[in-house]
Structure 1
Amino acid sequence: MDKMEPSFWENRWREGKTAFHEGAVNVHLARHFPALKLDPGARVFLPLCGKSVDIDWLLARGCRVSGSELSKEAVVAVFERLEVTPDIERVRDLHRYASNGLVVWQGDFFKLRNTDLGPVEAVYDRAALVAMPPSMRDSYVGHLRRLCGPVPQLLVTYDYDQARMDGPPFAVPERDMRAQYEDAFEIDPLSSVDIYGALADRCSGQEQSWCLRPALD
């Protein structure tokens, strides 16, 4: 099955093949969220958010959260875990789930518009760039910029021998990450840890985090 097709990801969720899902808050988010220097109540966008508990962590710290996720199963799981009943609205081919400072757009990320998303103050990308095969990265990064404009990002990537494991998540070594972002951002390395959790059963390497700040003209 083509990994660029939505059906690939829908099947992964349906079959429980979600080694990319973390059952705990991401270590880089917990350590480095202050690097984004956000005001209280800032809205943070999580592309391809899945059912991440990072959403809960951000909400508990007073952030408003917007996410985009293809899988209806994952979106429903988020609101069930939070024990809230969302308002659900259909917008073109997307469904907007919203409650208590959280909005998740269920459907194809590339069909989301900036007028749908509205203003955000930062992007937290733990699972989106690494979900894209190299052939899709230009499209992903370009669409993300159109959605969010020039806002800081906390970005998490993986660096491992791609020949030893077929993604996703895909390896995005530093040179490839910089090729996508350094034209518009100042890039600060934050930390690097050994790959852990369920993904460690499939490969060894580094999970890395970066703070991307919009470059001054």
Structure 2
Amino acid sequence: MTHTPPSPEHFAHVETWIFDLDNTLYPRSANLFAQIDAKMTDYVAELLSLDHAAAKKLQKELYHEQGTTLAGLMARYDINPDDFLLRVHDLDYSPIEAAPELGEAIAALPGRKFIFTNGDRPHAERTATKLGILEHFEDIFDIVAAELLPKPAALAYDRFLARHGIDGSRAAMFEDLARNLVVPKTLGMKTVLVVPPSLEEPLADVWEKDAGFTDEVDYVTDDLTNFLRTVQPTPVSG
């Protein structure tokens, strides 16, 4: 991990900007994931006739084994992924506030911009619309486009790059989970970990936290908007 502050020169080669969605483009304090997490637990409980505690334990076990609860359920049980995605993303989006300054910072970046999420497209579209930033992205690459293979699986990134003809060595990726930056780093991307503000208590469960992946992180920021402003090309005067 570099201790050098970001500058336009460090990102001058970047022509593609890739953003995770949840807890990256909106603040972790919005805590949408608490809703998703609860709905996943309810889904597991109903599917297997488990009580809440047992369903929660199994959900986390599946997450650890396969990277997402959906992947774990598909590996062990014959479930309908479309039904799962529809149910767990039936959310109250009122905690998401419009972020016009973030939108301006994204719009000012040179080149192409994408959302790459382990969620589904409708969830990403609803969230980005609420933020007021949807129009700034060329496309959303979701779990369905990845053929239900989630980050951090290398093949998911390969499918994303191939679909959009992206050169990893000329891209930057922004994520809230360091383990999802391992493959981007090997592909030559600039990697940026987005974390909660330093005075904000993280809302994630312990199982979400990443330790041991700092070598894959080039930069860390607790203010995505300001970071994007910092790395934008300096206008030529005159």
TM-score of the aligned structures, taking structure 2 as reference length: 0.38
Greater Rg by CA: 2
Higher helix residue share: 2
Structure possessing the higher relative contact order (Cα contacts under 8 Å, 6 or more residues apart): 2
